[in-house]
Chain A
């Protein structure tokens, strides 16, 4: 496993409080346990107060520093539509894959009526200018179905597992998830993971490893 992969760059993006960082941690933990060299780069701080958050997860033998260069992201996981598009335009490689939660998290300016949130159609069109494959689904609804709206991040993680792009077995991700959230919260988070997995499986193109 470790010898095969030179470089795989994944970015998880969203708004502070959406569980972006925890999802990235689980992904990275599972990768380390699979014997991969891993680097995760994040900016904490402003996140809690409604700001944009990005977690860069890099894995492979030819990976030294924690930040993905512009245009070098292979897989984008967007917990929020606008964040996903902004991040994709900057970081996603041409033809890269995007998994996006279609449920918006309104910025303050939209809440106060000073700005308008763009339509999903416009956002999808912008995404398709760079992405080779993009899968959009309402992770928020699936999280509520799983039992907790906050678990949308685990829905997205499940979707990542279904794509089979990351050389980490879904079981390894699930184990890392349970280790990270603890037994009290494991059930609802695993359920969310499962729902994301099923949804992505149903929508994804035939599996291809990078």
Chain B
């Protein structure tokens, strides 16, 4: 854990990850509550706040999902204490329901919602521009352009939230959250507030007339938002005067714009207005920037959010400039921006003579494409999900029909890759059970739904109850590796460990599932191939909802524990005299420790974790413990 985040002195310049900077900003503001759900690219914010919890009197938790995290945060915010919730873009979809009411009730202690969006969906099922939620919620949205701004905005957001009496959305993206930069640290405020909940049903118990009244209040509050936004220290107006072209930008795109303008030697020719708030916009400043221009090029990461509003605002200017950007096809729409994409857009609107020279190397690249094999993702050595996928694949192979496999979010998405090819539909967190249920009803056949332990606690319970209650025909395979793996091994209710490392109350997965009414439940060690196959067979034959919990600790976590206590990992080896070169272990099973070697197979003793699954799969028993 970065010491600078926690102990860096004001004025010190540290190298911080954008997420570390956001955590530091919250600490500087005296945040007292932090919650979230692990999700790339946001995870490190909560990890750092959890590490800082004891020192700075912060209550920090991993919540079961983002909606619950936000609701818990509300408890602090309406009691006058500062709170932060963190999530990837998908998480705000969960938060939107309570948020829609929270903005009517308003808050007392600053409440900051950090959404770390993932343009280009490097680690997500989709890309989504959460700035739009600012309109749905009718609240302030700030967008930092680099780690320094991420810290400063995170810090200021709490005071701003208290001024407007509404939660504030801080919209980060991968290239800010997961970028590192030099950050000047600030003073850490000691927030000596005591919680106090002032009863006020007119605000906090809404429906009908009261809700309407509060909605009018919210509309009225927009006046305060406008004032606040006009004075924000996060806008930049860079102009020598008289430029025909102005770039309107925000967030990470500002960095790409600056880089592109410098490389193209256009710093003195093109004006730049960078706004710190994307909703509302600082209207009079922006209108001032746009007046007298022939053209405004909007450069932003995500959807044409600023562009839409710039167009609306332009109609209020006499002789308005042309507004170009994504709608006009000048800036790439879909995927993330970078310096080249912005440079392309600039040269398009300014004329070809500004195009920077491009390096082609097509021949060399074509040769490399032929010669260099692609590097595909694979399960880690010893991953229990790989073992489960093998067992499931073997069982399905013997069935009279090929069941649809509904998957979910986590490391087990890799079951859809070769050699397993198990995975037909995947949506959002916890969707596998519901989609599986619907499919089973539509098709009139058993459907397999895969879900991880973390995902199940997050979003699977409701759909399981529904499946039992409404009698769907699904076999649920819960891949229980005792962690939230894909995001780096965070704890969840099944593990009984909390974000701050304290012991929490563990919630039993199998008791919970039984409590949902499932009768056919089996728990099997994922490394026990035969037992797992038998259990899966029985589950597939059973009527209604059946559950198999394939249980085995994540291999990375297991090895870490072993190393921590000084225990040795004993690898397996292939006995060359016994290996027939059938390659079943390579073609039907996936483990990066196995490699083909001169007609036989070899196991890398440096990476083998000794799970023994390949030894069980080998039809001739040629794989044994190395010692």
- Rounded to whole angstroms, the CA-CA distance of A93 and B258 in the bound complex is 21
Q: How many whole Å from B174's CB to the nearest CB in chain A?
A: 7
Contact B179 A44 (CB under 8 A): no
Q: How many whole Å from A181's CB to the nearest CB in chain B?
A: 13
Contact B367 A112 (CB under 8 A): no
Contact B179 A46 (CB under 8 A): no
Question: Is A94 an interface residue, CB under 8 A from the partner?
Answer: yes
CB neighbours (8 Å) of A63 from chain B are: 259
Residue in A66, A108, A118 whose beta carbon sits within 8 Å of that of B372 in the complex: A118
Contact A64 B259 (CB under 8 A): yes
Q: Look across to chain A and name the residue whose beta carbon is closest to the beta carbon of B583.
A: A113
Q: Count chain A CB atoms within 10 A of each CB in B41, B175, B371, B556 and give the residue with the most.
A: B371
Q: Look across to chain B and name the residue whose beta carbon is closest to the beta carbon of A106.
A: B595
Contact A28 B595 (CB under 8 A): no
Question: Is B33 an interface residue, CB under 8 A from the partner?
Answer: no
Residue in A25, A48, A64, A115 whose beta carbon sits within 8 Å of that of B15 in the complex: A25
CB neighbours (8 Å) of A66 from chain B are: 175, 179-181, 255
Interface of B is mostly: mixed
Q: Look across to chain A and name the residue whose beta carbon is closest to the beta carbon of B373.
A: A115
Q: Say yes or no: A38-B375 contact (C-beta < 8 A), given A49-B414, A129-B361.
A: no
Contact B182 A38 (CB under 8 A): yes
Residue in B179, B374, B378 whose beta carbon sits within 8 Å of that of A41 in the complex: B179
Contact A50 B372 (CB under 8 A): no
Q: How large is the interface on B (under 10, 10 to 19, 20 to 34, 35 or more residues)?
A: 35 or more
- Rounded to whole angstroms, the CA-CA distance of A115 and B370 in the bound complex is 11
Question: Is A209 an interface residue, CB under 8 A from the partner?
Answer: no
- Rounded to whole angstroms, the CA-CA distance of A110 and B146 in the bound complex is 40
Contact B178 A32 (CB under 8 A): no
Residue in A50, A94, A116 whose beta carbon sits within 8 Å of that of B375 in the complex: A50
Q: Say yes or no: A44-B373 contact (C-beta < 8 A), given A38-B15, A130-B364.
A: no
Q: Say yes or no: A70-B595 contact (C-beta < 8 A), given A108-B378, A109-B373.
A: no
Contact B364 A49 (CB under 8 A): no
- Rounded to whole angstroms, the CA-CA distance of A129 and B200 in the bound complex is 73
Flag B345-389 by CB within 8 Å of A: 1 or 0 each.
Answer: 000000000000011010011011001111111111000000000
CB neighbours (8 Å) of B486 from chain A are: 45
Q: Say yes or no: A49-B380 contact (C-beta < 8 A), given A40-B180, A64-B254, A67-B338.
A: yes
Q: How many whole Å from B268's CB to the nearest CB in chain A?
A: 14
Flag A117-139 by CB within 8 Å of B: 1 or 0 each.
Answer: 11000100010011000000000
Residue in B262, B359, B372, B583 whose beta carbon sits within 8 Å of that of A85 in the complex: B372
Contact A41 B586 (CB under 8 A): no
CB neighbours (8 Å) of A113 from chain B are: 583, 586, 596
Question: Is B340 an interface residue, CB under 8 A from the partner?
Answer: yes
Q: Count chain B CB atoms within 10 A of each CB in A67, A85, A86, A106 and give the residue with the most.
A: A67
Q: How many whole Å from B484's CB to the nearest CB in chain A?
A: 13
Question: Is A165 an interface residue, CB under 8 A from the partner?
Answer: no
Question: Is B115 an interface residue, CB under 8 A from the partner?
Answer: no
CB neighbours (8 Å) of B178 from chain A are: 41-44
Q: Say yes or no: A28-B180 contact (C-beta < 8 A), given A106-B595, A112-B586.
A: yes
Question: Is B606 an interface residue, CB under 8 A from the partner?
Answer: yes
Contact B175 A67 (CB under 8 A): yes
Question: Is B256 an interface residue, CB under 8 A from the partner?
Answer: yes
Question: Is B339 an interface residue, CB under 8 A from the partner?
Answer: yes
Q: How many whole Å from B62's CB to the nearest CB in chain A?
A: 18
11 contacts between A and B (CB under 8 A): A15-B375, A28-B180, A43-B122, A43-B123, A45-B123, A50-B376, A65-B259, A65-B338, A108-B590, A109-B373, A111-B595
Residues of A within 8 A of B (CB): 15, 25, 28-29, 32, 36-46, 48-52, 62-67, 69-71, 82-83, 85-86, 89-90, 93-94, 106-118, 122, 126, 129-130, 149
